[in-house]
A = this chain, B = another copy of it.
Amino acid sequence: MKIRLILLLLVCFSSISFAKITTRFPSSFDDNHLPSDLASKGKELLSYETHYYTQILDHFNYNPQSYQTFQQRYLLNDKYWGGSKKNAPIFVYTGNEGNIEWFTQNTGFMFEIAPHFNALLVFIEHRFYGKSIPYGKNKETAYSNKSTLGYLSSTQALADYATLIIDLKNNLTATDSPVVVFGGSYGGMLAAWFRLKYPHVTIGALASSAPILNFGNITSPYSFNNIITQDFKGESENCYKVIKGIWKQIEDTAKTTGGLEKLRKSFRICKNYISQGSLQNWLSTAFVYTAMTDYPTPSNFLNPLPPYPVKEMCKAIDDPKTGNDMFEKVYGAANIYYNYTGNATCFNLNDHSDRHGLGGWTWQACTEMVMPTDGNNNESIFPVSEWDYNERARFCQSNFGIKPRPDWVTTEFGGNNIERVLKKFGSNIIFFNGLKDPWSGGGVLKDISKSVVAIIAKEGAHHVDLRWSSKEDPEWLRQVR
């Protein structure tokens, strides 16, 4: 059996087999759900003005189409800024694949440190996301085909940031104010790359949970799921075994008469739709994202989560009350992720809505962001499977009529032998990784030079360092910050 992880909401599910495409970054945070004790702090500190910059569509060629412009959104907070005369610094968040307001709201770290540095805060939205949509902000047009989507790329985004920052500094007559870039996840990759490619625009980068090495064959394609496996195994051996065993049980049950209906009831799936694959996918999504966001304090990804949610999931699985009912145990775990508030009455597997506007990532995964993460070896908590580039290529062909360029990221940004390359080149980059984060396997985990350094949190999850601080934060997290 081979389970296919589809973590792309845009994928058209088939009821038999699932296209294994790419794992999304957990990039969307819901502003209505600032964690309990942080809410007041967030509400006090979180403020920004919205601005727009007229951005060029293509920086790298001179076709007539490339001269088209669009309005790029950026958010500004100058409450703490020491001003241009004092050459006070500018902290820039290099936006990732979603609405910039979410990232802003979720990057409390920048708001919390700004007063200490008298820093101006700028959060720039990535082209094709949020409100920074080319073609007259018409998302339908922008996302309609490969000709329009063609301009959604990381190099264009970096050039956008350079152009916007230079212009902003000119307007503020702050050309001598140093710029430091921050980013988490894909935004962290952009921050690191921005420092490497535009050292004349930024003096340093904090790249949090940035898997810049999860390309080509630099990082093992088993790494991602191995870390998830370890996250659950670390909580309890039984928890790991139950989850590892569930896939075959689902498969076997699905084959029996009335089996799908049994599964539907066991997992409280709504009546409208169920299939073996969609159920397996729904479950694996819960495990993957919970592992990524295994934060020590309450959090919000697509859904609200308690502190240490992996531990909570394993508690549910290990609960003696559920005896030998594996479905009930795993349902209990999934319920932590999908229904922590307890409001859900049933779960809709047919809901492929993209309410956080992350759809562009499918395109990016089909062009340059070919990150091999889907391998599962014998020990994996998920069924054994191999990373298969051709599967990706077929999906991209059928979905967009496009051929990925899997070698582009390593060609443009490097990654192979990064220690040798950056030992005497580049400076002022901090790579943060939490080792519980499945993406950490593709991160920079060792100091490369005196100023290209790695900060590691053994207990940390995906860009935990950028979150709002909390009284409940454990000591290791305080130290990281």
- Residue ranges of A at the interface with B (Cβ–Cβ < 8 Å): 56, 58-64, 66-67, 146-147, 149-153, 155-156, 159, 162-163, 166, 175, 196-201, 363, 367-368, 402-403, 405, 407-408, 410-418, 421-422, 424-428, 451
Contact = CB atoms under 8 A, between A and B. Distances in A.
18 contacts: A59-B60, A59-B155, A60-B153, A60-B156, A61-B61, A61-B153, A62-B149, A62-B151, A62-B152, A62-B402, A63-B147, A64-B146, A66-B150, A199-B414, A200-B414, A200-B418, A201-B411, A425-B428
A182 to B, nearest CB: 18
Number of this chain's copies in the complex = 2
B162 A412 contact: yes
A147 B156 CA distance: 19
Nearest to A56: B405
A155 B60 contact: yes
Contacts of A403: 67
A159 B427 CA distance: 23
B59 A412 contact: yes
Given A60-B60, A61-B58, A61-B150, A411 B67 contact: no
Nearest to A155: B60
B428 A451 contact: no
Contacts of A197: 197
A427 to B, nearest CB: 5
A451 B425 CA distance: 10
A425 B426 contact: yes
Given A61-B60, A61-B61, A412-B59, A426 B199 contact: yes
Contacts of A413: 200
A450 to B, nearest CB: 10
A38 to B, nearest CB: 36
B59 A200 contact: no
A11 to B, nearest CB: 19
A95 B402 CA distance: 31
A175 B405 CA distance: 20
Contacts of A156: 60-61
A425 B162 contact: no
